[in-house]
Structure 1
Amino acid sequence: MSKNSPTMSFEMWLQSRLTAHGYAPGVIDGIVGPNTIAAIKAFEKTHGLPVDGKADEVVVKALRASASAIPPIDMTKIPNRDEDPDEASPGKTTFPRQKDVLKFFGPVGQNQTRVEVPFDMVLAWDTSKRVRAMTLHLKVAESASRALEKISEVYSEDERRSLGLHLWGGSLNVRRMRGGKRYSMHSWGIAIDFDPQRNALRWGRDRARLAEDDAVPFWQAWESEGWCSLGRLRNFDWMHVQAARL
């Protein structure tokens, strides 16, 4: 995402970059009001810049830097990881609980469609293979498209690679849950995995890459659409996001 992107104003780009760095000004609406100015000042203070709340060239250059290269984010600036995603945006889609997915989505493996990916992705287990689209259930396709677009806008390509968001671990896969008899949420095409190698099933936030601070806007993009993270709710399987509540 560049300052001169034809699909986003500079003001919206500024708010998106602040959010990606952990200084969320609230709704990304292109209006530089008190919340955005306060976010700029907090960013300036942390990075040793003159604190004037102005998005000058020095601030813009710092915002363009990879999230992996900046100092640790002030935890007071980001939401609680254990906050229940059920309390996210009131305009989101309400998906069923896991026990009700068969009734809501129908038989496993049916009613699927392809969702285009708006940024470069590759197979996690074979990075020579590009992923241009993923197969998801018709009832979650639009919400997934919106979440992916938000992720594309908030993060630069370098930041997505740092987080491993370009490493696709799968979507539709009709199979039983590991060690159980019930079907996995992947069986309905209502779950997606990212970067499985650095977010192993049993790893907690002390090891998982997507449990780190710069991943918060990624999870917020999904939660605002009604999807949930097992990592943020139960502190395991940080690779996984699903359109079903626990």
Structure 2
Amino acid sequence: MSFEQWLQSRLTAHLWPVGNIDGEIGPVTVAALKGFQNAKGLKVTGVADEATIAALRLPASAVPTPLPERDQEPAKEAFQSSKTVWPRQSQCMSFYGPVGQNQTAIEIPFDMFLAWDKGTRIRKMTLHQKVAPSALKVLRRVSAIYSATERKALGLDLFGGSLNVRRMRGGSSYSMHSWGIAIDFDPERNGLYTKKPNARLSHPDAVPFWVAWESEGWLSLGRARDMDWMHVQAARL
């Protein structure tokens, strides 16, 4: 096993998946490395420096694992999730209250633009008070993980909406947007019925983005059902 493969295997073990453990340090591995560094409070460089390697060697038990020798398999770890457990969709009224109420605005920590008017920059998004701190935490992680160029390539800079009191398409139940607990990104390339690999946010370089949301308990409909890849919500199915 090469050092590059060890690096990829350790990132994957620490819940920052890179896809295939092939030893190729491409944009997916670099994005995962930046996400790991940010989560551990390290300097975010995308380079495996001494401090990052030391952190990668530590499993959940905090016992160092040795650097790899040829053909050595990476140690496997068990992880405990610290993510928030949001209510199920059917419980949103009791948990969040009436639709459209208890809202607040958060400052977006990077440049975003309206998906339907890319010349218009937005600086805030409106979300339910219960989910706003969590969403801001994730967006800050995204800002640290991806450069502006990388965010633009993924469409993470294109805002498709948050609070919007309406019924679900083709149904009578309220959309998760009605409580301000859902956010859409780049709807043009991640349509409701666009499946992978056609949906842009289904590509491997988006995995750190979704992991950042999932670490806070948010749900990607794309990763759960291979549909509506634009959408992330603070509610379980």
Alignment TM-score, normalising by the size of structure 2: 0.72
Determine if contact 1:115/1:134 at 8 Å carries over to the other structure.
Answer: yes
| Segments of 4+ moved more than 6 angstroms | none
Give the match for residue 124 of structure 1. 115
Residues 191-238 of structure 1 deviation map (CA, whole Å, 9 limit, x = unaligned): 000000000100111210000000000001100011010000000000
Structure 1 letter corresponding to 2:28:
H
* Aligned residue runs from structure 1 range 152-171, under 5 A: 152-171=143-162
User: C-alpha distance in 1, partners of 2:91/2:210?
Assistant: 23
- Residue 20 of structure 1 deviates from its aligned partner by 5.9
User: C-alpha distance in 2, partners of 1:129/1:89?
Assistant: 41
Residues 7-26 of structure 1 deviation map (CA, whole Å, 9 limit, x = unaligned): xxxxxxxx9xx896236468
* Aligned residue runs from structure 1 range 178-189, under 5 A: 178-189=169-180
Q: Does 1:90 align with 2:81?
A: yes
Q: Does 1:149 align with 2:123?
A: no
Q: Comparing both structures, which one devotes a greater share of its residues to helix? A: 1
CA RMSD in angstroms comes to 2.6
Structure 2 letter corresponding to 1:213:
P
Q: Does 1:218 align with 2:205?
A: no
Percent identity between the two aligned chains: 59
Residues 14-71 of structure 1 deviation map (CA, whole Å, 9 limit, x = unaligned): x9xx89623646843233236748xxxxxxxxxxxxxxx9xxxxxxxxxxxxxxxxxx
**Alpha-carbon spacing, 1:106–1:162, altered in 2? closer, same or farther (3 Å):** same
Match 1:140 to one of 131, 134, 144 = 131
2:209 is paired with a residue whose SS is: helix
- Residue 128 of structure 1 deviates from its aligned partner by 1.4
Alignment TM-score, normalising by the size of structure 1: 0.69
Residues 51-98 of structure 1 deviation map (CA, whole Å, 9 limit, x = unaligned): xx9xxxxxxxxxxxxxxxxxxxxxxxxxxxxxxxxxx96222110010
Give the match for residue 222 of structure 2. 231
5+ long unaligned stretches in structure 2? 1-15, 17-24, 43-50, 58-67, 69-78
* Aligned residue runs from structure 1 range 18-97, under 5 A: 21-22=28-29, 24=32, 27-28=36-37, 29=40, 30=42, 31-33=51-53, 36=56, 90-97=81-88
User: C-alpha distance in 1, partners of 2:136/2:196?
Assistant: 27
Structure 2 letter corresponding to 1:236:
M
5+ long unaligned stretches in structure 1? 1-14, 38-52, 54-87
**Alpha-carbon spacing, 1:19–1:182, altered in 2? closer, same or farther (3 Å):** farther
Give the match for residue 243 of structure 1. 234
